[in-house]
Structure 1
Amino acid sequence: MNETREIRIKRLKMRSMRRGIKEMDLILQAYAGRALEGMAPEAMDLYEALLNENDQDLYKWVTGQIETPAPYAGLVDEIAQSFQP
């Protein structure tokens, strides 16, 4: 896909807020709004791959109910930590 960084960020933000379960909509929308602008292209690639995962799995990873697969562990930790009180 040949898209500008700006278009890619907009697309990823939209995908972050239109998930399947409301909790993941809220979590990923907030994270994307804070993090995408500063992400390197490789980090965006990983985030985009994460968005292809099942919402039920994502929710369990973010909430620590099940172990996150290794490729996503650091990213999911970052997402989860951004929602700690």
Structure 2
Amino acid sequence: MTETIDIRRKRLKIRAWRRGIKEMDLLIGGYADAHLAVMDEAQLDEFEQLMDEHDQDLLSYATGLKPVPEHLKSMLDKVIADADHASWGVKG
């Protein structure tokens, strides 16, 4: 039996919020909450590829301590840009 897109979205959302490093939970989980519901299969593939990375590496990429691998750059840029614009209860 193959996984439906709705089941895949639910699985990815759970994974996004259980990363292991709280900063990654907030960054990736927040993006998942905002965008998973409208992502198509190709976008889900790209998001899942990002989530397959180790948290420590993602944190290093997001903070500029390590260069971002080319295959992750587009999605990580979207995630970071979304976090920059998220309200998270802070009025700017």
Q: TM (normalized to structure 1)?
A: 0.90
Letter in 1 for 2:34: R
Q: Which runs of 4+ in 1 moved over 6 A?
A: none
2:67 corresponds to which residue? 67
Work out whether residues 62 and 80 of structure 2, in 8 Å CA contact, stay in contact via their aligned partners in 1: yes
Alpha-carbon distance, 1:39 to partner: 1.3
Equivalents in 2 of 1:36, 1:62: separation in Å? 20
3-state SS of paired residue (2:83)? coil
The gaps in structure 2 that reach 5 residues or longer are 86-92
Equivalents in 2 of 1:49, 1:16: separation in Å? 12
Query: For the pair shown, which has the larger CA radius of gyration, 1 or 2?
Result: 2
Identity of aligned residues (%): 41
The answer to whether residue 73 in structure 2 is matched with residue 50 in structure 1 is no
Residue-pair matches, total: 85
Work out whether residues 13 and 32 of structure 1, in 8 Å CA contact, stay in contact via their aligned partners in 2: yes
Work out whether residues 31 and 79 of structure 2, in 8 Å CA contact, stay in contact via their aligned partners in 1: yes
Alpha-carbon distance, 1:64 to partner: 2.6
Alpha-carbon distance, 1:37 to partner: 1.4
Work out whether residues 13 and 33 of structure 1, in 8 Å CA contact, stay in contact via their aligned partners in 2: yes
Alpha-carbon distance, 1:63 to partner: 2.4
1:18-50 deviation line (CA, Å, top 9, x unaligned) = 011111011111000111112120111121121
Work out whether residues 17 and 29 of structure 1, in 8 Å CA contact, stay in contact via their aligned partners in 2: yes
Work out whether residues 62 and 79 of structure 1, in 8 Å CA contact, stay in contact via their aligned partners in 2: no
Work out whether residues 30 and 83 of structure 2, in 8 Å CA contact, stay in contact via their aligned partners in 1: no
Letter in 2 for 1:28: I
